[in-house]
Amino acid sequence: MKKNASGKLITYMLWPVLLTGWWLIVDVVLFLVTRSRRALVIGICATVLYLGAVLAMFLIRRKRILRDYIAFSAGYDEVESRLLTEMDIPYAVLDSESEILWCNKAFSFVCGHKGIGMNFRDLMPEIKAYTLPKHESEERSYHSRINGKMYKIVMRSQETPEFDAQLKRISRGAKVKLTRTVSAFLYDETELTALRQENSDIRLVFGLLYIDNYDEVLDSYEEVKRSLLTALIDRKITTYMHGIDAVIRKLEKDKYFFIFQNRYLEQLQDDKFSILYDVRSVNIGGPSEVGLTISIGLGVNGKTYEEGYESARAAMDLALGRGGDQAVVRDGEMITYFGGKSESIEKNTRVRARVKAHALKELIEAKENIFIMGHTNPDVDAIGAAIGVYRIAKHCNKNAYIVLNEVGNAVRPTVNNFLNNPEYESTMFISAFHARELASEDDLLVIVDVNRPSYTECPELYDLIKQVIVLDHHRKTTDSVDNAALSYVEPYASSACELVAEILQYIGEGLKLRPIEAEAMYAGIMIDTNNFLTKTGVRTFEAAAYLRRNGAEVTRIRKAFRSDKKEYMARAKAIAGMEMYLNDYAFAECQAEGLESPNVLGAQVANELMEIDGVKASFVFTMFQNQVYVSARSIDELNVQLVMEKLGGGGHMTVAGAQLAGVSIAEAKQKVKEVLRSMLQSEAVN
3-state secondary structure 157-210: EECCHHHHHHHHHHCCCCCCCCCCEEEEEEEECHHHHHHHHHHHHCCEEEEEEE
Sign of CA dihedral 473, 475, 477, 482: positive
Coil vs helix vs strand at 473: coil
Per-residue pLDDT at 10? 61
In 3D space, the residue among 467, 429, 425 whose CA is nearest the CA of residue 447 turns out to be 467
260 three-class SS:
strand
Question: In 3D, which of 220, 212, 217, 318 has the Cα closest to residue 256?
Answer: 212
Indicate whether 459 pLDDT > 80.
Answer: yes
Q: Has residue 161 got a pLDDT over 70?
A: no
- DSSP of 386-434, one letter per residue? HHHHHHHHHHTT-EEEEE-S---TTTHHHHHTTTT-TTS-TTSEE-HHH
Phi, psi of 674 (to 5 degrees): -65, -40
Q: Could you give the 3-state DSSP secondary structure of residue 35?
A: coil
Distance CA 151, CA 496 (A): 57
Across 219-228, 313-322, 370-379, 541-550, least confident range: 219-228
387-443 per-position pLDDT tens digit: 999 999 999 999 999 999 988 777 888 999 999 899 999 999 999 999 999 999 999
d(CA 31, CA 368): 113
- Residue 81 in contact with residue 169, Cβ under 8 Å? yes
pLDDT at 290: 55
pLDDT of residue 164: 54
In this structure, are residues 304 and 213 in contact, taking their beta carbons and an 8 Å threshold? no
What is the three-class DSSP state of 3?
A: coil
With cut-offs at 50, 70 and 90, classify the pLDDT of residue 8: low
- The more confidently predicted of residues 13 and 654 is 654
Question: Quick one: pLDDT at residue 166?
Answer: 53
Return the pLDDT at 288.
47
Number of CB atoms found within 10 A of residue 226's CB: 16
Mean pLDDT for the stretch of residues 74-92: 68
Phi-psi region of 325 (alpha: psi -120 to 50; beta: other; left: phi over 0): left
User: Which amino acid would we find at residue 549?
Assistant: R
Is there a contact between 541 and 531 (Cβ–Cβ < 8 Å)? no
- The mean per-residue pLDDT over the stretch 640-644 comes to 89
pLDDT mean over 598-615: 88
Output 257 or 32, whichever has higher pLDDT.
257
Strand partners, 146: 149
Q: What is the pLDDT of residue 48?
A: 78
pTM of the model: 0.60
Tell me: pLDDT of 674 over 90: yes
Of 233, 243, 353, the C-alpha closest to 293 is 233
- Please state the rounded mean pLDDT for residues 103-118: 76
pLDDT at 320 exceeding the cut of 90: no
Taken in order 542, 545, 550, 551, the sign of the CA dihedral is: positive
Query: pLDDT above 70 covers what percent of the chain?
Result: 84
Write down the pLDDT at residue 409: 77
Which DSSP symbol is given to 263? G
In eight-state DSSP terms, residue 532 is T
Which residues touch 306 (CB under 8 Å, ≥6 apart)?
A: none
Q: Angle at CA 30, nearest 5°, toward 25 and 31?
A: 100
Q: pLDDT class for 128, splitting at 50, 70, 90?
A: low
Q: pLDDT tens digits, residue range 568-595?
A: 888 899 999 999 999 999 999 998 777 7
Q: What value does the mean pLDDT of the chain take?
A: 83
Amino acid identity, position 477: T
- Let me know if 454 is exposed, middle or buried by CB neighbors in 10 A (0-12, 13-18, 19+): exposed
